Structure 1
Amino acid sequence: MSAQVQQIAQAGARAGMPAQARVDVQVGRLDPRLKLAPCQQVQAYLPPGLPMWGRTRIGIRCLDGTVRWNVSLPVTVKVYARALVAADALPAGAVLTQALLGSAEIDIAAEAGAVFSDATSLVGRTLLRPLAAGEAVRSNSLKVRQWFAAGDTVMVRAVGSGFAVAREGQAMTAGLEGQSVKVRFENGRIISGRVVGERHVEMLL
């Protein structure tokens, strides 16, 4: 059963990990207070919607027994890959430069937030919180960028199945990276879209 759990956790982790990363799965123990009935066929499975990163769990169920039970087995999935880290201790509010960044192999699944491998995507960004030397620069440790102000003219790109249409409009609120914003077109129509770049909004159809 341990091998089956390892295989499922490894497969689940690989679904979202970068190339050349390595996975280490540590299998925990079931709650000793559980009294499970004997079972002829036990199956390990990946609970739907549950990411196989960090502290998580694998489902274990009985398929052939007098009592069909279903329990959770704790696992810790570590995903080691090279990522950008703080070269030295950095305070909140620091503006990142190439000299302030280093590269190291870390457990990218240890904390929430995406990591970065390309320094050009971080140079000029501002830290939301302090980082210790060697700590990964994650997406949630950066201040959200404002791509435009309320009243600015923005380009709205409507994306559908097999087509994309672009049209100008006026932002009704400030455009913060990755967040929703309302845009008014010249004919008075108001739509909601997602801020994707400097004066650019994407609307999914």
Structure 2
Amino acid sequence: MPHPLQYCLAILKQLLLLLLFSLCLSLQAHASNDLLMDTVQQFLYQESQALGQEVMIDITPPSPHLPTCVSPEPFFPNANHPPLGRVSVGVRCGENRRQVRYIQAQIDIIGSYAVAGQDIDRGTLITGDMLTLREGNLGDLASQALTDQNDIVGMVAQRPIRSGSTFQSHYLQAPQVVKRGQRVTVIAEGAGFRVSREGEALSDGAQGERIRVRFDTRELVTARVIGQGTLVIDF
């Protein structure tokens, strides 16, 4: 029968080994989370730094109980929304990128944004002299607010916009450059050929929109508006 002191030392040794093992696992998990957080931080900074002069990013740490994310690869689930305000970041993990988890972050950016410099009536074609610039936290703006003047000038107001208001994307519409019933030129081109035909637009169309055109032969095609009275068929 082992001596009581030897028995106690053996138990103590096992406890120390278990403690060291748990500590190693904890350190490994913390190191993995640190790598994940750093990777997401760098990704968000790269995506948002061009939007303003100062970028502030606050990331909600992932749960420590989640499995290790090997080779994290961040992405935006909705690439159409600018990286501003409260955002969700997807992260692919593992060699085959089959594991996906989502991390929440707050992005605040101090920068310039355009507001109406005067009252703008519905149906008005917006020009640069109708805008003025302000400085502030872009993250505080509405999710559909347009901050770049290039996205505003040349658009048509679809509702009255008061002086000092930001421009929401659903307030604006591209001007109609093709009218229903108008005679238009439709261009079809590809490798080594270019053909143009005249037809009748069956609906109004803004730059970049696809509308239907009827030729004199009664043939119908769908073409993309590329300018005043000009459309193209994409192959």
TM-score between the two structures when normalised by the length of structure 1: 0.67
Is 1:103 equivalent to 2:103 in the alignment?
A: no
Higher relative contact order (CA 8 A, sep 6+): 1
Aligned residue among 34, 44, 55 for 1:24: 55
Is 1:112 equivalent to 2:150 in the alignment?
A: no
| Partners of 1:93 and 1:129 within 8 A in 2 | yes
CA distance in 2, matches of 1:45, 1:174: 43
TM-score between the two structures when normalised by the length of structure 2: 0.60
> Which residue of 1 is the match for residue 16 of structure 2?
none
> Which residue of 2 is the match for residue 4 of structure 1?
39
Is 1:57 equivalent to 2:81 in the alignment?
A: no
Runs (5+) with no aligned partner, structure 1: none
> Which residue of 1 is the match for residue 175 of structure 2?
145
Cα deviation for residue 94 of structure 1 reads 6.5
Aligned residue among 46, 59, 67 for 2:74: 46
CA distance in 1, matches of 2:103, 2:176: 43
| Partners of 1:44 and 1:58 within 8 A in 2 | no
CA distance in 1, matches of 2:230, 2:150: 22
Larger helix proportion of the pair: 2
> Which residue of 1 is the match for residue 214 of structure 2?
184
Q: Deviations over 1:43-62 (max 9, x none)?
A: 43223653262332223466
CA distance in 2, matches of 1:173, 1:200: 14
CA distance in 1, matches of 2:149, 2:135: 11
Return 74-83 or 139-148, whichever deviates more. Answer: 74-83
> Which residue of 2 is the match for residue 93 of structure 1?
122
Paired residues, number: 192
CA distance in 2, matches of 1:164, 1:27: 53
| Partners of 1:6 and 1:25 within 8 A in 2 | no
Query: Helix, strand or coil for the counterpart of 1:147?
Result: strand
**RMSD of aligned alpha carbons:** 3.9
Runs (5+) with no aligned partner, structure 2: 1-33
CA distance in 2, matches of 1:169, 1:94: 28
Q: Which amino acid aligns with 1:27?
A: D
Q: Deviations over 1:27-58 (max 9, x none)?
A: 33257xx572463x554322365326233222
